[in-house]
Amino acid sequence: MDKSRKPATIAAHAAGATDLQSGGVVPALQPSTTYLRDEDYALVRPDNIYSRADSDNLRQAEEVLRLLEGAEETLLFPSGMAAIAAVFRTLSNGDTAIVQSGIYWGTTAWIRDFCARREINLIEADADALLATCETQHASLVFIETPSNPWLKTLDIRAIADSTAAKLMVDATAATPILTRGLDFGADIVMHSATKGINGHSDVLAGVLSTCARDARIWEMIRADRKMAGAILGPFEAWLLTRAMRTLPLRVERMSQNAQALAEHLLAQDGVDDVFYPGLPSHPGFDVASRQMQGGFGSLMSVIVKGRKQDALRVVGKLQLFLRATSLGGVESLVEHRHTIEPHTGIPENLIRVSVGIEDIGDLIADWDQALG
C-alpha cells in the first residue's frame, strides 16, 4: 500500500488485506497451527511453517499497525505486558533502566520484580525529574508512558530522546498511533496495549511493539524471544484486531471530541476540584501535548471530585452510562475508582478515572450532572 496514504485510508482498507482466494473484500480467518509440505518435503508456502511464528492473520494486523505507526517493523503480542517484557528481557545483568514513575501500576510492579531478579539497576523518576535523570545517568533503556495512566502526565518524547544514549521505549497506549507516532519524535520502540483504543471493543487482549530499526540487534533479540517463548497472538484475535482497526481513526476522533467536551464541562462544576486531561489549557502538559498529539487528546482523563473516598464512590455508583469496569479506549464509556483497585500506590481516594466512549456527548454530560447532583 502507498505509504503516502492517510491513516483513515490505511485503516479502512486494512492495509490492503483482502482474501484473494475467495475474492472476499475482507481477509479470511486461518486458524491452522501447522502448514503443508509437498512430496519432496518443501514447504507449500515458504513463509508458513508453524503458527508460533507464522500466521497470515498476524502479519495482516501487524502491517496495518506498521503503516499507522510509520515503523520499519511491527510485532504483535498476546498482551501489552508481554510486549513490555520482551523489551526488558534484552537487558543484561548489571544494566541500568530508567523508568517513569506514576505510570500504569501493572507495568511498575512487573518491572520492579523483574529488575530485582535479574540484578538490573532500576531508577524510577517522576515525569518532572525524568529529563534530568536521563541527562545524568548512564542507562541502557529508558521507559516512559505518555499520556500516563492515571495521572495524564505528558512527556516531551523528543527532549528525552535527545537527552540520552539509551534506547527509548514509549508506551503510547492512551494516545494510539492516530494521535501520536512516537517514532517520529525520536523513540526507538513504541509500545501499545492494543487491548485498549487500538482494538476499542473490549474483546481482544493484545500488545504491540513497533520500531524504526535503529538497532537491528535489539529488535532481533525481541523477535527471537517472541518466537521461542511462544508469546504469539492467536489468529482469531489478530483477525478481530484487523476488523476493529478499520474504524480506529473514526473512533479516536469521536472519543477525543467527547472527552474534550466532557473535561471542559466537568472542570466548571462545583462538585469537581480538578480534571487531569492534556487537552485542557490548565493541564501542566498542555503545551507538550499540543505539539505531540495531532487531531485530539485521547479518551482518558481523571476527575478529582470534592470530598473524600465516600464522595467519589457515591458519584461512581450513580453514573448510569459510564460502566464501572477496568480498562480504557473502548467504544463504551467506563469509570473506575482507582483507590479501591490500588490503594497502595498513593492514588488520591477522590480520584475517578474515566474512559470516554463514542456515545452522544449530551447524554454523557447529563449522566455526570445527575451523578454529581
52 is catalytic: yes
Catalytic position from the list 66, 196, 246, 353: 196
Catalytic position from the list 5, 35, 52, 306: 52
308 is catalytic: no
Reading the block at residue 256, the C-alpha cell is 477525543
104 is catalytic: yes
Cβ-defined contacts of 360-364 (< 8 Å, 24+): 361/257, 361/258, 361/261, 361/262, 363/321, 364/258, 364/262, 364/321, 364/322, 364/333
Residues in the chain: 373
At position 285, the amino acid (one-letter code) is G
Reading the block at residue 139, the C-alpha cell is 542507562
Terminal-to-terminal C-alpha distance of the chain: 52
Burial 234-259 (b: 16+ CB within 10 A, else e): bbebbbbbbbbbbbbbebbbbbbbbb
By the 8 A CB rule, do 357 and 323 touch? Answer: no
Reading the block at residue 81, the C-alpha cell is 505486558
Question: Which residues have C-beta within 8 Å of that of residue 346, sequence separation ≥ 6?
Answer: none
| CA within 13 Å, CB half, 299 | 32
41 is catalytic: no
Catalytic position from the list 54, 171, 188, 274: 171
Regarding beta strands 272-276 and 141-145, do their DSSP bridges make them parallel or antiparallel, or are they unpaired?
unpaired
For the chain, how are helix, strand and coil distributed in percent, rounded to 5? Answer: 40, 15, 40
Catalytic position from the list 54, 104, 246, 274: 104
Q: Report the distance separating Cα 204 and Cα 322, nearest Å.
A: 20
**What's 119's DSSP letter?**
T
Residues that are catalytic: 52, 104, 171, 196
